[in-house]
Structure 1
Amino acid sequence: MRDAAENLPAGRVLRVRRRDGGDVTGRLYQRRRDGGDIPLRPRPTGTPAAARDLVAEFLARRPFYISHRLGGTEYPEFTQAGLDASLRAGFKALEISLRRCATGEYVMIHDWTTERTVPGTKYPIWSTPWDTLKTLRQAAGPFLRFTDLLDQLPDDVILAVDHKVTSDKQNTNSSDLQSELDLYELLDDAFNGHPERRVLWKHFVNAGSVERAKARGYRTMCMLYPAELATADTSRWDVLGLEWNAPDAAWQQLTATGKPAIAHIITNEGQAQTALSKGATGLMASWPTTVHP
């Protein structure tokens, strides 16, 4: 038996093993500029069943629930403990923040450094290799890569993805834009060419990446604050979010758009009921043992 490689578009390589009677598909890799490979999930072989648009099905629920930062108020943000608790609680959507580290892996973290979640450290994510980041501990658990999540993601759960370096402002940095493009291609591979059926793209009001996401077929979500709502062009997004305790007038303006309206960030049942009474159709919840589907 010998190894062979078949070149694929966008600098990716599909490893195959040659044997009598044909090729056996192996792991899918994303090529890094330094010559190394980052493993991705393999594309399933055979003819897949007709795909469901899980994002559309999810947004049609009343109410729908998204686990914020994998239950990041009750548990350390973006850790296995929070992921396990969110799935046990029945969440069918997980909100995640992604940043690419120095060796190319996408790490689930909100901040640009490790300072807040790992006190006593201050590693910038973009310039720190995964071999260093994986040794750190956020209270009860280590950092997770995006591929760690993908490898255990149930087939009926969707993702709300926040690519931090392009989600909150107009960004012309070539490395950040390349990171966004490479993330799109990773998702293409992970979800069999139809990631828009499993991924909701999250932005903030000044993001320049909204149109790029929509051009690729993704539905988009904007998390707003009352001061932004008055001047925001809400037609740019498919889902709108507002603080659960925002003034009634702001909620009335949001719900008047007729779009799914998600309240953030919910940590207890009282907040959930207040948000629903204001017209929220979904809840971005961060305490999975208390507020869940």
Structure 2
Amino acid sequence: NALEISLARTSDGVWFGLHDETLDRTSGTSGFVAADHTWKEVQRYRITAAETDDPRQLPQPYLRFEQLVTAYARSHTIFVDPKVVPTEHLGELFALMAKVEHPTNTFVAKGYCTAQAWPVDARGRGYATWGYYYGAEVAADPTLLSSTQDRWTWLGLDYNGGEDAWRTFTNSGKPVLAHIVPSQAAADKSLRLGADGMVVSGVQQVLGT
């Protein structure tokens, strides 16, 4: 079992789950840049379900990275993506990850395919890494995969990336995870294309839980 978390960092050094630079999409704010505010200020807001497939869900508080680790590190592999956090703060994140009993067996450093400092540093510390690509971008830049894949232990490709891209990726000799899979139909397609695993957004639709 695995979980994925994208992380932001507050001005007072708290790492928490957030995909974007701002809280605008998740909390309806306007220009609320997480890095410019304290954790106490972030806690005033709740994550709304307005942009999800089920807007009836109740608002939820933002989750500190440590809370996720405490709850799931013993039972799940956790893919960690620091998104827009400046590289000078990555040492803090590695220190948080190192607090678990077997960090390199617990965490995978995840990032967009062109990321450099995060995967290189992570591999140097013994972590596996996962870099995700999009078939359209691979088609537009034939050197994209060859120029970036060495930093990634595992590769990721969108399930709509096209058969040519999927053939190239599955022939790379590295495990390939399909992303971001929203439905059972997309999961079935990913498996037909040769995916070794999937990053799933439609958990209920694909896993039935």
Q: Is 1:211 paired with 2:92?
A: no
The alignment status of 1:127 with 2:36, answered yes or no, reads yes
Provide the TM-score with structure 2 as the length reference. Answer: 0.86
1:247 aligns with 2:162: yes
Amino acid at match of 1:243: D
Corresponding residue for residue 53 of structure 2: none
Match of 2:6 in 1: 97
Q: Which amino acid aligns with 1:120?
A: T
TM score, norm. by length of structure 1: 0.62
Which residue identity lines up with residue 204 of structure 2 in the other structure? T
Tell me which residue corresponds to 1:18: none
- State the AA in 2 paired with 1:114: L
Deviations 1:77-99 (A, max 9, x none): xxxxxxxxxxxxxxx11110111
1:182 counterpart (81, 85, 92): 92
Paired AA for residue 98 in structure 1: L
Structure 2 gaps of 5+ residues are 49-58
Matched, 1:156 2:75: yes
Q: Give 1:255 deviation, angstroms.
A: 0.2
Unpaired segments of 5 or more residues in structure 1? 1-91, 167-175
The 1-side partners of 2:132 and 2:73 are apart by 26
Larger CA Rg, structure 1 vs 2: 1
Per-residue deviation at 1:204?
1.5
Is residue 195 of structure 2 the alignment partner of residue 280 of structure 1? yes
Residue 120 of structure 1, CA deviation:
3.5
Structure 1 residue 237 and structure 2 residue 146: aligned? Answer: no
SS of 1:111 mapped into structure 2: coil
Q: Which amino acid aligns with 2:183?
A: N
Task: Determine helix, strand or coil for the equivalent of 2:203.
Answer: coil
Aligned to 1:147: 66
Aligned to 1:201: 109
Deviation, 1:245, is: 1.3
Q: Which has the higher contact order (CA 8 A, sep 6+)?
A: 1
Corresponding residue SS for 1:165: coil
CA contact (8 A) 1:205 1:228 kept: no
AA partner of residue 114 (structure 2): N
Percent identical pairs in the alignment equals 32
Q: Residue 175 of structure 2 is aligned with which of 240, 243, 260?
A: 260
| Deviation string, structure 1 residues 10-49 (Cα, Å, up to 9, x no partner) | xxxxxxxxxxxxxxxxxxxxxxxxxxxxxxxxxxxxxxxx
Alpha-carbon distance between aligned partners in 2 of 1:261 and 1:113, rounded to the nearest angstrom = 30
8 A contact 2:136–2:161 mirrored in 1: no
Report the secondary structure of 2:84's partner residue. helix
> Which has the larger share of strand?
1
Residues 239 and 260, structure 1, Cα contact 8 Å, conserved in 2:
yes
Is 1:113 matched with 2:22? yes
How far does residue 127 in structure 1 lie from its aligned partner after superposition? 1.1
Given that residues 156 and 178 in structure 2 are in contact (C-alpha distance below 8 angstroms), is that contact kept between their aligned partners in structure 1? Answer: yes
Instruction: Please report how far the alpha carbon of residue 179 of structure 1 lies from its aligned counterpart in structure 2 after TM superposition.
Output: 1.4
Contact 1:268-1:290 within 8 A present in 2 as well: yes
Superposed structure 1 runs of 4+ greater than 3 Å apart: none
The alignment of Structure 1 onto Structure 2 pairs a total of residues equal to 191
> 1:43-82 to 2 correspondence within 5 Å?
none
State the shift of 1:288 in Å: 1.5
Structure 2: which amino acid aligns with 1:107?
Answer: F
What is the RMSD computed on CA atoms of the aligned residues?
1.5
CA–CA distance in 1 between the matches of 2:47 and 2:92? 27
Cα shift readout 1:167-193 (whole Å, capped 9, x = no counterpart): xxxxxxxxx23310111011111x13x
Aligned residue type for 1:206: T
> Larger % of helix: which?
2
Q: Residues of 2 paired with 1:218 and 1:154: CA distance?
A: 15
SS of residue in 1 equivalent to 2:207? coil
